[in-house]
């Protein structure tokens, strides 16, 4: 039997961020269970990327991992260009126009998921009180009055070496709290019968890496097509990441695409050969990035809105995709999850008595309910916003398209409204966890 304060199921970006955040402000002993191998970094660019906003960057900086990310592959962008394929509307955003956060030079950063997870994992390995269990999956969770009991399955998975990995990964774990950070199909959520609201977006997403001869120009591009949005997110290649400082980087022509479209259209697009698929991307983007070339495999997956009815059940908490999933058209999913992690760490450690070695105050029912309301409210707000944007750009009759285009152009020239949208994109809002602010403000 092994005892811990917190058991985190899922050592992805959100779970690892929670572990580091808990350890930053407490002496809690953490167990992390995940059999998914931490990726080794090579020159192959991951097609799965995340758009990191300023709030998330601050979290990484305050946890000591931002410098490692910057030394790997991080692509900043200062501009966003959004346009309506079916109309005349367009929106242009620039970091220099932000009145909400004038000290920030960027609107955000595009980073491969494997790069983020690798940096977080390496940082967590340095902490002797974060223990990894990578040999076996969990088999069951049961709650007692003051603890949670978790057992492992008996079948072995491939072992991932980690400096703090337990020598007896199959031994049961006792913890005061279990956190499900194990993704959209959360095993923890299912095990605890935590109810979920869901809705099919009737969209499939296609992700891939492409080359754009016109260059991405440190810009995130998004066109709203009749079937759904197509985003071109600027990428930093392995060559550009290793470029000599002070020398202009010639390699700025890679983008990650997120193409959200109807299931039938996604099936058609995936069936095309690489050349024909690239031609469709060039036409869809009005040639603004040049004649596009496909540089990776294509992957597709269905898009579903999910929202847990409650993020907390007794001594079990859900965060990240285990608690909510949203449409990727605004790229805010991972940022929501990272804020969940920072908020939960803040909630759990705010009232800990440094002289209480048993951490008896760790699980406070009223505090956990407040956390659930806090994070569910923000997730609901984001889900509602994404649904509104998706509906606004659904195929419409000509008069509606005209009004939509006029509205976009008016908004594009109305500074107060644009500044508010820029602040939303940056993640700058009221009631952020302390870790989401700049280090100087902590």
Domains of the chain: 2-198+304-441 (3.50.50.60)
Confidence at residue 156, expressed as pLDDT on a 0 to 100 scale:
47
Confidence at residue 409, expressed as pLDDT on a 0 to 100 scale:
59
The residue-averaged pLDDT of 283-312 equals 95
Confidence at residue 351, expressed as pLDDT on a 0 to 100 scale:
83
Whether 167 shows a pLDDT value over 70: the answer reads no
- What's the rounded Cα separation, in Å, for the pair 74 and 119? 12
Question: Among 25-34, 98-107, 224-233, which stretch is predicted with the lowest mean pLDDT?
Answer: 98-107
CA atoms lying within 13 Å on the CB side of residue 169: 25
Whether 200 shows a pLDDT value over 80: the answer reads yes
DSSP E strand stretches across 166-264: 173-180, 196-211, 219-225, 228-234, 254-261
List of residues 6+ apart from 119 with CB closer than 8 A: 60, 65, 68, 69, 72
Whether 207 shows a pLDDT value over 70: the answer reads yes
Name residue, tokens 């008069």: 399
Query: In this structure, what token pair is assigned to residue 107?
Result: 């609107």
Query: In this structure, what token pair is assigned to residue 24?
Result: 């930053």
User: Of residues 171 and 160, which shows the higher confidence score?
Assistant: 171
Confidence at residue 42, expressed as pLDDT on a 0 to 100 scale:
86
DSSP 41: P
- What's the rounded Cα separation, in Å, for the pair 437 and 442? 7
- Where residue 194 falls among pLDDT bands split at 50, 70, 90? very high
% of the chain surpassing 90 pLDDT: 61
- Where residue 119 falls among pLDDT bands split at 50, 70, 90? very high
- What's the rounded Cα separation, in Å, for the pair 19 and 33? 12
Picking from 229, 10, 138, 206, the residue whose alpha carbon sits closest to that of residue 19 is 10
pLDDT tens-digit readout, 252-274: 899 999 999 999 999 999 999 99
Q: How many CB atoms lie within 10 A of CB 39?
A: 15
Q: What is the mean pLDDT of the chain?
A: 85
User: Of residues 247 and 168, which shows the higher confidence score?
Assistant: 168
Confidence at residue 98, expressed as pLDDT on a 0 to 100 scale:
63
Q: How many CB atoms lie within 10 A of CB 291?
A: 13
Question: Among 24-28, 122-126, 417-421, 426-430, which stretch is predicted with the lowest mean pLDDT?
Answer: 417-421
The residue-averaged pLDDT of 169-179 equals 88
Indicate if the alpha-carbon torsion angle 94, 282, 331, 391 is positive or negative. positive
Confidence at residue 246, expressed as pLDDT on a 0 to 100 scale:
41
- What's the rounded Cα separation, in Å, for the pair 126 and 284? 47
% of the chain surpassing 70 pLDDT: 80
The residue-averaged pLDDT of 212-218 equals 94
Whether 435 shows a pLDDT value over 90: the answer reads yes
Alpha helices in 242-362 (DSSP H): 263-271, 274-284, 333-349
- Where residue 76 falls among pLDDT bands split at 50, 70, 90? very high
CA-to-CA separations, 181 to 18, 351, 363, in angstroms, rounded = 9, 23, 18
The residue-averaged pLDDT of 292-307 equals 95
The most confident of 215-229, 236-250, 390-404, by mean pLDDT? 215-229
Name residue, tokens 């010639």: 250
Whether 95 shows a pLDDT value over 90: the answer reads no
- What's the rounded Cα separation, in Å, for the pair 140 and 217? 50
DSSP 288: T
Confidence at residue 247, expressed as pLDDT on a 0 to 100 scale:
39
Question: Among 80-84, 89-93, 291-295, which stretch is predicted with the lowest mean pLDDT?
Answer: 89-93
The residue-averaged pLDDT of 218-227 equals 92
Whether 355 shows a pLDDT value over 60: the answer reads no
Strand pairing category for 196-211 and 293-294: antiparallel
Whether 340 shows a pLDDT value over 90: the answer reads yes
User: Of residues 401 and 152, which shows the higher confidence score?
Assistant: 152
Confidence at residue 248, expressed as pLDDT on a 0 to 100 scale:
38
Q: Rounded to the nearest 5 degrees, what angle is found at the Cα of 11, between the Cα atoms of 51 and 306? A: 60
């Amino acid at each position: 039997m092994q005892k811990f304060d917190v058991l985190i199921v899922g050592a992805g970006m959100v779970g690892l961020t929670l572990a580091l955040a808990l350890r930053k402000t407490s002496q809690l002993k953490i167990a992390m269970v995940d059999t998914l191998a931490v990726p080794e970094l090579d020159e192959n660019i991951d097609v799965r990327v995340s758009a990191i906003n300023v709030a998330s960057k601050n979290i990484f900086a305050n946890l000591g991992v931002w410098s490692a990310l910057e030394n790997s592959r991080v692509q900043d962008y200062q501009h966003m260009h959004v346009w309506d394929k079916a109309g005349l509307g367009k929106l242009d955003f620039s970091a220099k126009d932000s009145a909400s956060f004038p000290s920030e030079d960027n609107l955000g950063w595009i980073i491969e998921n494997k790069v983020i997870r690798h940096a977080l994992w390496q940082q967590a390995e340095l902490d002797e009180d974060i223990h990894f269990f990578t040999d076996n999956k969990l088999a069951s969770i049961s709650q007692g009055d003051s603890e949670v009991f978790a057992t492992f399955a008996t079948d072995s998975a491939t072992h991932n070496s980690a400096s703090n990995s337990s020598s007896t990964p199959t031994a049961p774990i006792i913890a005061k709290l279990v956190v499900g950070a194990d993704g959209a199909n959360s095993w923890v959520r299912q095990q605890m019968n935590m109810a979920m609201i869901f809705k099919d977006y009737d969209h499939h997403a296609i992700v891939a890496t492409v080359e754009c001869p016109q260059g991405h120009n440190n810009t995130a591009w998004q066109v709203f097509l009749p079937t759904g949005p197509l985003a071109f997110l600027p990428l930093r290649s392995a060559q550009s990441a290793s470029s000599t400082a002070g020398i202009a980087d010639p390699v700025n022509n890679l983008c990650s695409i997120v193409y959200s479209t109807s299931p039938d259209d996604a099936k058609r697009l995936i069936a095309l050969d690489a050349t024909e698929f690239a031609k469709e991307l060039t036409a869809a983007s009005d040639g603004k990035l040049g004649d596009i070339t496909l540089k990776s495999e294509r992957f597709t997956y269905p898009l579903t809105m999910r929202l847990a009815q409650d993020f907390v059940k007794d001594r079990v908490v859900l965060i990240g995709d285990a608690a909510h999933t949203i449409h990727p058209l605004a790229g805010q999913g991972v940022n929501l999850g990272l804020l969940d992690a920072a908020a939960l760490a803040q909630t759990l450690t705010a009232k800990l008595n440094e002289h209480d070695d048993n951490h008896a105050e760790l699980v406070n029912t009223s505090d956990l309910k407040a956390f659930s309301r806090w994070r569910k409210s923000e997730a609901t707000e984001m889900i509602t916003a994404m649904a509104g944007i998706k509906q606004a750009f659904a195929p419409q009759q000509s008069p509606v398209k005209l009004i939509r285009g006029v509205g976009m152009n008016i908004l594009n020239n109305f500074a107060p409204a644009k500044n508010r949208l820029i602040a939303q994109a940056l993640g700058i809002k009221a009631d952020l966890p302390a870790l989401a602010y700049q280090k100087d403000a902590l």
